[in-house]
Amino acid sequence: MPMPLARELLVASVAALGLASSPAQAAFSIDLSFSGLTPAQQSYFAAAKSFWEGVITGYQGSVSLGGIAISANGAVIDGVGNVLGSAGPDSLFTTGGFAYVATGEMSFDTADIDNLIVQGSFTDVIRHEMAHVIGFGTMWVPNGVYADGSGRYTGSNALREYRFEFNQPAATFVPVELGGGAGTADGHWNEVNNGGGNTGLRDPLGRDMRFELMTGWLDTPSFVSRTTLASFQDIGYTVALAAVPEPETYALLLAGLGVVVLRARRRA
């Protein structure tokens, strides 16, 4: 059963930090601190941290900040089910034409955590919330790639990947969720019927967009699209797109090309 993932904290205040500029690209890292979470629960955060540190490689331009400090909290939210967690930036800074996150927090409903662990989906929920802290859905408006209420994400990198990955060559935007209420709307890729059915958008592996990690409802098994990864380029990060395994269809296309080349050689 799909469950809404988040009531993201939208932080209006932008703290202008006096940052020294550097011509070198700074590395990206996530510095985690915990409260209200058992050591066993905390152990699930390492994989999410490694994942995002692996695909977000740094900052574009001359940004010297080394990463984001994230506070991860166990919290009483709304009991079993419904909202599983929330996340967002706490302090921001602008430099080099982008608005970035300096610090942020993630909260997880203590009524849900152990169930999520049993179901094997706590890691996905953490990865999802961590993405919001880094900027997914929370830093779109400050970076000019989304207007609240529009349902249309227009960042060029994610749009480029979306057109190819989900076979939407004529798309002029990536659809953004408008349902689900505050905290779900305007901060996720779109699903249909409040997470109640397939979207009809499929990647080359046949995976429907509803299973993408950054939609507003948790469906497992989830996957992280190239569209999501490229969206971080749109908000000022450098990204290792190749860190996502190439979908099999791409490999098949290459294999088909290989067959053609082989045939030509035989004829020759």
Ramachandran region, residue 84 (left: φ > 0; alpha: ψ -120 to 50; beta: rest): alpha
Structure tokens at 151: 């349902």
What residue has token string 């020759």?
Answer: 268
Is 259 in a helix, a strand, or coil? helix
Smallest gap from Cβ 22 to Zn ion, in A, equals 32
Our CB check for Zn ion shows the closer of 5 and 116 to be: 5
Helices 226-234, 156-165: axis angle to 10 degrees equals 170
Smallest gap from Cβ 267 to Zn ion, in A, equals 55
Query: Is residue 134 close enough to count as binding Zn ion by CB under 5 A?
Result: no
Q: How far apart are CA 1 and CA 128, in angstroms?
A: 17
Give kind and range of the element (H or E) at residue 68: strand 67-75
Query: Side chain identity at 177, as an amino acid letter?
Result: E
Smallest gap from Cβ 239 to Zn ion, in A, equals 19
Smallest gap from Cβ 268 to Zn ion, in A, equals 55
Q: How far apart are CA 131 and CA 133, in angstroms?
A: 5
Our CB check for Zn ion shows the closer of 6 and 37 to be: 6
Our CB check for Zn ion shows the closer of 5 and 159 to be: 5
Binding segment for Zn ion among 1-9, 30-38, 96-104, 170-178 (CB under 5 A)? 1-9
The count of chain residues that interact with Zn ion, using the rule CB under 5 A, is 2
Smallest gap from Cβ 82 to Zn ion, in A, equals 13
In the complex, which residue's CB is closest to Zn ion?
6
Dihedral sign (CA 124, 126, 128, 131): negative
Our CB check for Zn ion shows the closer of 6 and 174 to be: 6
Q: What residues numbered 90-109 form the site for Zn ion, per CB under 5 A?
A: none
Binding mask 2-41 for Zn ion (x = CB under 5 A): ---xx-----------------------------------
Instruction: Give yes or no for a contact between 245 and 202, defined as CB atoms under 8 angstroms apart.
Output: no
Our CB check for Zn ion shows the closer of 6 and 101 to be: 6
Give the footprint of Zn ion on this chain (CB under 5 A).
Answer: 5-6
